[in-house]
Structures are given as structure tokens and as C-alpha cells.
């Protein structure tokens, strides 16, 4: 039967129908109705397959219902609507109701009410618009299928699209924007494939998934939602990978699969999975979320693969409740919390990827959470790289941390950890094991930390095997009171302090460990210390290789000391047990040489069986060695070294002026004239990374060269070095640090942290009072420099009249500008035998120009970290070359720069 075309044109007497309803009643199955431009107030029931077309194109035909609350069109059979505008009279009611068949909307617009699909009906919208409705723009609760292709849903006082019941939906290149509720809500047993869509400015969630619904989002953009961009409250199974457009919803699987999403500006988390649900996210980006980048709670399962979370205003990835989170190959940058946070009973696995520039610890594990970390890289946090507390459990393999303000790995409470292949570079401490739980560390490498390499907290029993510490700023290994760690086959080298330090009651078992090139003793067993030390080799120590303090009773068995001045020194009352210990190439030895040839020198040590008394004794010799003057340095050389520092022109000028003033003071003293009043103590005010510590170290050496300080060495301290934990602890602790600085410079970083908050009872005030008295008592022996942020330092000096009178001069360290940052990188490159191409130098300039200069900006530290990242990227790039040339090995190129902010 041939289809017939009918025309609707009001006012025409012949050849056309006056109303659309008349034409519908007259039309047969498959006929086409062409509608002339105009406004039609009708209630249409389409109960047979028809095609309704706006004769002169979209927007020319406007259909509205005959009364408020009624639908303008109800579709009970398949039909095609083309170019029509449907206007509702009640925004809370459906204006287009689909109850049967498949309705197709092509280039249509629906306004003033929603599109509703129910029963077994289906809907297909191509290049169509739904706007200005209450509750929902499109509402589908059907066993049929809904297609929204190149559609727009906007200005809805409710949800953009609700997909419920057993609906199967496909949204392709569709935009949902400016809705007061969620952009898309999928619930019941609905199945939805959402591909290449944009959801903008949703008043609640961008996408909300509930109950047993299944959703696939592919290559979508979700921006500026008021709450979570994606919130999943149900969906307990997983959709098939790839999200088959034709078959979605036909199987039994559920869950949420997100691929290639771009999420930005969410008012809460980028994605939140809670309840019982299964969510997988791949190759997606989350930027600037007001809460976590991705979070899971309840019994949720959340997988993140090859994702990037940038500058969330809370933590990057959060797992709580009994959630299971699996993260692989993903990056978290600039989290204003933790990079990864696991609490309660969560189970988290992180493989590969990196966490950078987090405000708090990069990884924090608490509660009863279980976390596994493999091949993870952690960089730049003011707190711990990885912190485990309460009853958290950590398994770690082949991970790296760098530039952590506290510890690379920190364990306390009853945390348990098994770590294999951890590398810690720079930062304050290496591994701090203060936990009472089971701790096993193997194949750890700790390089160039400011303080201790390995720390064993009070009463702890951690085990370290085949671990290395190189370049610790204080001791290599610290054993706290009553701690009983075990170290096997470890090595400690290049420490500024002693290799291993054992406190009162500490009882370590140390076997097969090598200790060398230490700034003080190789092994220092403090008062009342215990423990067994066997089959160890100690060499190149600045102080006696082994020192045993009063009342200490260690067992020293099969030790070999070589290539140092002294092998053993004892304080009065020390009672070590010595068994088969040997000395080789030791100038003043107590122990015999290997092979039993007897002592190599006649030096005697009080307390050693068979030794004659000796005076003044090792303790006095050690003290004398500590007071020994340093090698004299030329003032001109020191000022030239200061001049070579990048930037700091104002500081250089101030220091040069101080030098001239001090030279004048020195000449007056030498001439027998009274010296004018002069405070040598200084305030260094500036942001982090502006060279304050470097200049302080040079300042001490300059004062020594001028003759105003005996040694000019630098002793660094902060609040934790000065303030005790109980009444009566702070004064002696502060005095001990001050005595270390006698003849040199005491540099107190973040000194403002000593100032107690208003109304608080804080021991910091006691530390300040002790400092003021010591500065008065030893005004010519120690120079004190306090450093920190400019505003905070002004408040600190004003907090105590004694401080204000002693710190009358402030040196301001200004932030580095871009050319200076580039110069620092170039200097680092020259020191390490790298070359920057001209294009790399230009790219580096552009990179530093774009780098945010907020509180997180590290000035020189940021430049050094940039250089380190460039060398790592260059190493990865060159490693992929089949046959690299020598120039490839030393050349840094633009592609080696860090990811741009």
C-alpha cells in the first residue's frame, strides 16, 4: 500500500486539514503529515505508525496542549516527529508521553514539560532539545530502549534525564547543562551507555547511579557539578568492557565503567562509589575537585587505571568503610590532602604511577586498612611519603620516595609493615619505625636525608635486612629507649653524626653490618644501652669506631675496626662484653690485629679488662676533638662563594655591609677600644627554598674568618629539637642543642612554631625563655639565626621582649624569578655533567613562568626538583633508544620537562 502525504494548514478550504488531529484521524498506517508554520493547541494521540513533519523546517510549528496538565502528544505506536516544537502548559507534567512503539524525534524541541517514556515503549531523539521542565527533562521507566543522539537537555529544575526500571539507554554526543538536580540519573535495573557527552553545571551530581543499574561512560566531559561528578550508590556487578551499544542491558551484568572521562570543577569528589557497587575507571582525568579526586566507601569496589587526578582540594584517592580500591598506572598531583588515604577496613592496592606535591602525607593508612604498594613513586610532600598508623597494614615492593618533609616511610601505633625494595631520597628522615606492630624492612635504600636514616621507636621490634643508609644528616640508625630492633647485613655510610646510636634500654641485635665514613662514632651505645653487635665492620670514623657510655652493657662480638684513629672508647661505668674483636690499620687500638698479633698500639681504655688507667680518657679526647678549630678560610673566598649564589642580591648586599661593620668592630677591639653595641643575631625572613640555610652556613664561616666566632660551624634545629614532651624536658633539650652550636651558628628553622597559640599552655615558650638566657650568657660564643615566613617571623620576634632586643636585624630573602630558577637548573646540570639544549632552556623558562607561585612553591627547591625530574625523564627516554650516543646520555631536551601545571 502506497503511503499518502497529508497537509495541515489552517485557513485553507481545500486540499489541507485545519488541525493536526483531523489529519491524524484521516491518515493510514505509514502516511506522512506535513504541517504548515503556526501555533497549534491540540491534544494528539498517535496510535498508528505515522510521520509528522514541520513543512518549513525546525521551529516553525509549535504544538501546545489544550489544557494545563495534559500532554500535547501521546504516542502509543511507532511514529516519527521532525522539526516540531512541543510546548507544555505545566512544567511538572509530561508534554510528550510515549507509551508504546518507538517514537523518533528529529530536530525537535520540547519545552515547558518533560518527555516521558513508560511501559515497553522506546524513544529516539536526534539533534533535539528538551528544556524548561520541572523534576526531569527526560524520564524513562520502560522495558524499551532510549536513544539520545546529538540531543540537548538544559534549564531543568530537576534532573536532566532519569533512566529507571528496565530501560536500556544510549546517549551519544548529547549535552546536559544547567540543571538543578543531577545531570543524568540511572536507577533500578536500567542500563545506560553514555558516549562523548557533556554534562555541565549540574546542580547536584553529574551522573548518579543507584540500585542495580549499569552505566558505561566513554569519552565524556563532566564540568562544574555542584556535588560529585559521578556518584554510584549501587550497581553491584560490572558492565562488559567496551559497552556494546546494541547489547547493553540485555545481559545480567551491572556496574559502572568509565573510560576517557574529563572531570573538572566538581563541588565534591570527582567520583564517589559507596554502598555495594563495582566501578572501573580507565584513562580519565579529574581536575580541581572540591573534595577527593576519587573516593570509595561502604562495600564499594573502585578500580582506577591510567588516571590522573590534579589538584583536588582534599585527598587524591580515598578509601573508607570496607571498600576495595585498586589503582594502577595513575598519578595524583597537588592534592590538598593525602595523595592516597585509606582508613577503617578499606583494602587498597596501588601499582605503578606517582603521587606528587601533596599537602599532607602522600600515602596515609589508618584504622584497620590494608594497603599494598608496588612500584609507586612519591615526590615532594611536607609530611611523610608513606605513613601508617593505628592498626593499618602495609605491604610495599619497589617503591620510591623523594623530598619528603618528614619521613619517607613512617610507622606508628600498632601498624604492621612488610617493605621490600624501598628507596628514600632526601627529606628529613628515611624510615621511622615507631610502631609496636610487626615491621619487616628488606632491601631499603636511604640517601641524603637531613636526619636519621632508620629510626626504631621506643619499645619497637622492627627488623631490617640488607638495608643501606648513605648520607644521613645525623645518625644512620637510631635505636630509641627500650627498642629491640634487628639489623642484618645492612650498611651505613657517610653520616654527619654516628653510624648507629642506641639510647637507654635499647637492645638491638645487629649482625653483619658495615659502617663507614661517619662524622662521629661508628657505633654509639648511650647510657644504659644494651644489645648484641656481631660480625660488623667499622671504618673511616671521625670519632672512635665504638663508644660505650656509662652503665651500658652491650655485647661486642667478632667486630672488625679498620682505617680509623681509635677502635674503642669507654665512659666510666661502661661494661661491654668483648669477644674476638679486631683492629686493622688503627692508629690507637685497643683490640688486637687480625690473626691475634696483639694490640697495634698501647693506648689504654678504662674499663677494658687488663688495661691500665689512662688520662685524660676517651671522653675528654672526644670533647677535645669536637672543640678543635676548623681550617681557616679566606674571607675573600667566602664572599666570592656568596656572590656566586643565584639571585639574593639584597641579601648579599646586607651580608657585605655586616662584614664591613664587623671588621671595624674587630679592628677597634685589636686597638684596645671599646666595641660598639652590635647584635650579630639575625632574622632570615623568606619563603621556603630561598637559600636561607645556605646563607646561614656561609655567614658562620664568614664570622669565623673575621675572627668573631671560634669555629663558624652550623647547627640546625627546629621545634622538635628544642621543645620537650613533658615538664622539665624542654630546658635541658634546648641547652643541649645550644651547646652543640658553641663557637658557631645555631640556625632555628620555622622558629615561629615555638610561639604558643593564644590561650594555650605550650612548652615552646619555655624554649624561647631558655634561648634568651643562653644568648645573654654566651653572647660572644654563639650566633643565633631564626628563620621562617616573613609575617610569622615578625609575630615571633614581637612575642617576647627579650627576642625583640636581640634580633634587631632582618634579612629578607625574596622569591626567585624565572631567570634565576633557570640558572639554578643550569647550575645543577653543570654539576652533574648534563647539557640543556637551547630549546630546553626556552621551554624551561616557559615552564617556570607558568608554575603557580602559591604557598606550595618551593623556589630553589622547586628548581632542583625540576632538574631531578628532567634527568629521570631523560633516563626513561634514552633507555628506549636502541643505540644511544654519548650526546644522548648528557643532553636534556624539552620533552624531559615535568608535566606542566
- Provide mean pLDDT across the span 1-14: 84
pLDDT of amino acid 622: 37
pLDDT of amino acid 675: 62
Rounded Cα distance, 748 and 798, in Å: 17
Q: What is the dihedral of CA 297, 303, 308, 313, to 10 degrees?
A: 0
Summarize pLDDT for 534-567 with one digit per residue, the tens: 999 999 999 999 999 999 999 999 999 999 999 9
The residues, any chain, with a CB within 8 Å of residue 801's CB and separated by 6 or more, are none
Summarize pLDDT for 19-42 with one digit per residue, the tens: 999 999 999 999 999 999 999 999
Rounded Cα distance, 58 and 81, in Å: 11
Rounded Cα distance, 684 and 661, in Å: 19
- Provide mean pLDDT across the span 719-731: 73
Q: What percent of the chain has pLDDT over 90?
A: 62
Which DSSP symbol is given to 176?
E
Summarize pLDDT for 477-489 with one digit per residue, the tens: 999 999 999 999 9
Q: Could you tell me the residue ranges of all domains in the chain?
A: 456-628, 635-813, 818-896
pLDDT of amino acid 243: 42
pLDDT of amino acid 854: 67
Rounded Cα distance, 555 and 568, in Å: 13
- Using 50, 70 and 90 to split pLDDT, how confident is the model at 47? very high
Summarize pLDDT for 164-188 with one digit per residue, the tens: 999 999 999 999 999 999 999 999 9
Look-up: residue for cell 674483636? Answer: 581
Reading phi first (left if > 0) and then psi (alpha if -120 to 50, else beta), residue 882 is in alpha
pLDDT of amino acid 725: 63
- Provide mean pLDDT across the span 691-709: 85
Q: What angle do CA 875, 881, 883 make, to 5 degrees?
A: 115
Task: Please give the CATH topology (third level) of the domain spanning 635-813.
Answer: Rossmann fold (3.40.50)
- Provide mean pLDDT across the span 357-365: 96
pLDDT of amino acid 757: 53
Highest mean pLDDT among 235-244, 397-406, 598-607: 397-406
pLDDT of amino acid 632: 60
pLDDT of amino acid 600: 36
- Using 50, 70 and 90 to split pLDDT, how confident is the model at 656? confident
Summarize pLDDT for 453-502 with one digit per residue, the tens: 999 999 999 999 999 999 999 999 999 999 999 999 999 999 999 999 99
- Provide mean pLDDT across the span 558-584: 95
- Provide mean pLDDT across the span 354-382: 96
- Provide mean pLDDT across the span 186-194: 96
Summarize pLDDT for 840-873 with one digit per residue, the tens: 888 888 888 877 776 667 777 788 888 888 888 8
Phi, psi of 379 (to 5 degrees): -140, 140
Is the link from the previous residue into 683 a cis peptide, with omega within 30 of 0?
Answer: no
Closest CA to 712 of 621, 809, 632: 632
Rounded Cα distance, 783 and 775, in Å: 8
- Provide mean pLDDT across the span 597-616: 38
Segment among 156-160, 334-338, 534-538, 695-699 with least mean pLDDT: 695-699
Closest CA to 166 of 132, 201, 121, 101: 121
Reading phi first (left if > 0) and then psi (alpha if -120 to 50, else beta), residue 754 is in alpha
- Using 50, 70 and 90 to split pLDDT, how confident is the model at 749? confident
Extended beta strands in 55-113, E state: 61-64, 73-75, 79-82, 84-87, 94-98, 102-106, 109-111
pLDDT of amino acid 881: 82
Summarize pLDDT for 293-339 with one digit per residue, the tens: 999 999 999 999 999 999 999 999 999 999 999 999 999 999 999 99
pLDDT of amino acid 75: 95
pLDDT of amino acid 602: 31
- The DSSP-derived string for 501-565 is EE-TT---EEES-EEES-SS-SEEE-TT---EEES-EEES-SS-SEEE-TT---EEES-EEEEEE
Q: Is the pLDDT of residue 594 over 90?
A: no
Q: Is the pLDDT of residue 401 over 70?
A: yes
Q: What is the dihedral of CA 618, 620, 623, 627, to 10 degrees?
A: -120
Extended beta strands in 536-660, E state: 537-539, 546-548, 555-557, 560-566, 568-570, 577-579, 582-588
Q: What percent of the chain has pLDDT over 70?
A: 90
Summarize pLDDT for 232-268 with one digit per residue, the tens: 997 654 444 444 433 333 334 469 999 999 999 999 9
Are the C-beta atoms of residues 708 and 697 closer than 8 Å to each other?
Answer: no
Task: Please give the CATH topology (third level) of the domain spanning 818-896.
Answer: Helicase, Ruva Protein; domain 3 (1.10.8)
Q: How far is CA 333 from CA 3, 871, 879, in A?
A: 63, 19, 25
Instruction: Flag whether the pTM goes above 0.85.
Output: no
Rounded Cα distance, 476 and 491, in Å: 9
Average pLDDT, the chain: 87
Summarize pLDDT for 69-119 with one digit per residue, the tens: 899 999 999 999 999 999 998 999 999 999 999 999 999 999 999 999 999
pLDDT of amino acid 487: 97
Q: Which residue has the higher pLDDT, 129 or 753?
A: 129
Amino acid at each position: 500500500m502506497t503511503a499518502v502525504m497529508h497537509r495541515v494548514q489552517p485557513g485553507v478550504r481545500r486540499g489541507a486539514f485545519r488541525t493536526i488531529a483531523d489529519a491524524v484521524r484521516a491518515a493510514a498506517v505509514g502516511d506522512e503529515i506535513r504541517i504548515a508554520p503556526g501555533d497549534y493547541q491540540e491534544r494528539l494521540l498517535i496510535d498508528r505508525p505515522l510521520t509528522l513533519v514541520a513543512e518549513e523546517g525546525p521551529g516553525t510549528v509549535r504544538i501546545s496542549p489544550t489544557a494545563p496538565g495534559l500532554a500535547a502528544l501521546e504516542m502509543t505506536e511507532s511514529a516519527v516527529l521532525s522539526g516540531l516544537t512541543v510546548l507544555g502548559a505545566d512544567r511538572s507534567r509530561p508534554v510528550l508521553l510515549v507509551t508504546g512503539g518507538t517514537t523518533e524525534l528529529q530536530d525537535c524541541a520540547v519545552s515547558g514539560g518533560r518527555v516521558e517514556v513508560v511501559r515497553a515503549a522506546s524513544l529516539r531523539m536526534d539533534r533535539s532539545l528538551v528544556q524548561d521542565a520541572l523534576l526531569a527533562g527526560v524520564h524513562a521507566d520502560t522495558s524499551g530502549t532510549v536513544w539520545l543522539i546529538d540531543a540537548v537537555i538544559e534549564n531543568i529544575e530537576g534532573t536532566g534525564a532519569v533512566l529507571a526500571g528496565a530501560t536500556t539507554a544510549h546517549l551519544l554526543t548529547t549535552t546536559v547543562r544547567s540543571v538543578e538536580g543531577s545531570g543524568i540519573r540511572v536507577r533500578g535495573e536500567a542500563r545506560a551507555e553514555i558516549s562523548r557527552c557533556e554534562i555541565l553545571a549540574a546542580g547536584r551530581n553529574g551522573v548518579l547511579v543507584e540500585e542495580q543499574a549499569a552505566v558505561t561512560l566513554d569519552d565524556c566531559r563532566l564540568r562544574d557539578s555542584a556535588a560529585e561528578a559521578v556518584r554510584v550508590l549501587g550497581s553491584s556487578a560490572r558492565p562488559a568492557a567496551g559497552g556494546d551499544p546494541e547489547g547493553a542491558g540485555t545481559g545480567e551484568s551491572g556496574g559502572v565503567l568509565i573510560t576517557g572521562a574529563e572531570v573538572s570543577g566538581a563541588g565534591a569528589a570527582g567520583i564517589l562509589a559507596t554502598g555495594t557497587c563495582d566501578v572501573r575507571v580507565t584513562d580519565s582525568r579529574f581536575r580541581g575537585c572540591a573534595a577527593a579526586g576519587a573516593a570509595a566507601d561502604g562495600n564499594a569496589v573502585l578500580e582506577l587505571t591510567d588516571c590522573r587526578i590534579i589538584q583536588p582540594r582534599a585527598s587524591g584517592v580515598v578509601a573508607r568503610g570496607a571498600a576495595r580500591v585498586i589503582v594502577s598506572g595513575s598519578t595524583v598531583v597537588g592534592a590538598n590532602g593525602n595523595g592516597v588515604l585509606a582508613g577503617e577496613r578499606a583494602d587498597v592496592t596501588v601499582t605503578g604511577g606517582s603521587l606528587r606535591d601533596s599537602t599532607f602525607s602522600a600515602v596515609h593508612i589508618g584504622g584497620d586498612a590494608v594497603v599494598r604498594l608496588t612500584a609507586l613513586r612519591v615526590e615532594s610532600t611536607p609530611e611523610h611519603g608513606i605513613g601508617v598508623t593505628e592498626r593499618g597494614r602495609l605491604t610495599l615492593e619497589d617503591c620510591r620516595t623523594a623530598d619528603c618533609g618528614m619521613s619517607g616511610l613512617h610507622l606508628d601505633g600498632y601498624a604492621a609493615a612488610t617493605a621490600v625494595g624501598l628507596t628514600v631520597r632526601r627529606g628529613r628522615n628515611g624510615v621511622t619505625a615507631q610502631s609496636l606492630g610487626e615491621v619487616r624492612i628488606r632491601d631499603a635504600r636511604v640517601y641524603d636525608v637531613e636526619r636519621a636514616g632508620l629510626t626504631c621507636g621506643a619499645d619497637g621490634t622492627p627488623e631490617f635486612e640488607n638495608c643501606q643508609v648513605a648520607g644521613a644528616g645525623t645518625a644512620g640508625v637510631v635505636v630509641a629507649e627500650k627498642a629491640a630492633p634487628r639489623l642484618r647485613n645492612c650498611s651505613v655510610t657517610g653520616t654527619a653524626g654516628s653510624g648507629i646510636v642506641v639510647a637507654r634500654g635499647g637492645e638491638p641485635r645487629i649482625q653483619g653490618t658495615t659502617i663507614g665514613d661517619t662524622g662521629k662514632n661508628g657505633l654509639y651505645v648511650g647510657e644504659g644501652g644494651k644489645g648484641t653487635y656481631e660480625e660488623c665492620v667499622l671504618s673511616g670514623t671521625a670519632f672512635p669506631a665504638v663508644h660505650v657510655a656509662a652503665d651500658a652493657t652491650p655485647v661486642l662480638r667478632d667486630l672488625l675496626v679498620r682505617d680509623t684513629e681509635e677502635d674503642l672508647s669507654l665512659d666510666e661505668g661502661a661494661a661491654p662484653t668483648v669477644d674476638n674483636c679486631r683492629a686493622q690499620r688503627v692508629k690507637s687500638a685497643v683490640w688486637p690485629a687480625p690473626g691475634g698479633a696483639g694490640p697495634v698500639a698501647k693506648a689504654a681504655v678504662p674499663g677494658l679488662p687488663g688495661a691500665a688507667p689512662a688520662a685524660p680518657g676517651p671522653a675528654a679526647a672526644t670533647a677535645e676533638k669536637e672543640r678543635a678549630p676548623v681550617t681557616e678560610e679566606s674571607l675573600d673566598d667566602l664572599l666570592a662563594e656568596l656572590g656566586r649564589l643565584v639571585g639574593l642580591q639584597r641579601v648579599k648586599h646586607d651580608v657585605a655591609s655586616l662584614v664591613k661593620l664587623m671588621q671595624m668592630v674587630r679592628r677597634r677591639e685589636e686597638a684596645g677600644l671599646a666595641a660598639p653595641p652590635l647584635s650579630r643575631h639575625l632574622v632570615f625572613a623568606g619563603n621556603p627554598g630561598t637559600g636561607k640555610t645556605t646563607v646561614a652556613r656561609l655567614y658562620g664561616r664568614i664570622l669565623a674568618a673575621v675572627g668573631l666566632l671560634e669555629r663558624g660551624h652550623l647547627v640546625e634545629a627546629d621545634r622538635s629539637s628544642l621543645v620537650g614532651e613533658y615538664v622539665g624536658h624542654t630546658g635541658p633539650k634546648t641547652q643541649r642543642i645550644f651547646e652543640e652550636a658553641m663557637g658557631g651558628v645555631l640556625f632555628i628553622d620555622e622558629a615561629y612554631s615555638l610561639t604558643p597559640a593564644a590561650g594555650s599552655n605550650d612548652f615552646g615558650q619555655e624554649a624561647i625563655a631558655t634561648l634568651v638566657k643562653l644568648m645573654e650568657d654566651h653572647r660572644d660564643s654563639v650566633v643565633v639565626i631564626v628563620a621562617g615566613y616573613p609575617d610569622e617571623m615578625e609575630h615571633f620576634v614581637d612575642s617576647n621582649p627579650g627576642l625583640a632586643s636581640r634580633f634587631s636585624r632582618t634579612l629578607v630573602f625574596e622569591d626567585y624569578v624565572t631567570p634565576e630558577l633557570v640558572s639554578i637548573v643550569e647550575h645543577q646540570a653543570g654539576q652533574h655533567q648534563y647539557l640543556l639544549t637551547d630549546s630546553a632552556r626556552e621551554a624551561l623558562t616557559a615552564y617556570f613562568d607558568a608554575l603557580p607561585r602559591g604557598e606550595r612553591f618551593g623556589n630553589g627547591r622547586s628548581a632542583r626538583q625540576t632538574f631531578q625530574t628532567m634527568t629521570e625523564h631523560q633516563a626513561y627516554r634514552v633507555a628506549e633508544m636502541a643505540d644511544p650516543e654519548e650526546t644522548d646520555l648528557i643532553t636534556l631536551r624539552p620533552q624531559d620537562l615535568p608535566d606542566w601545571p
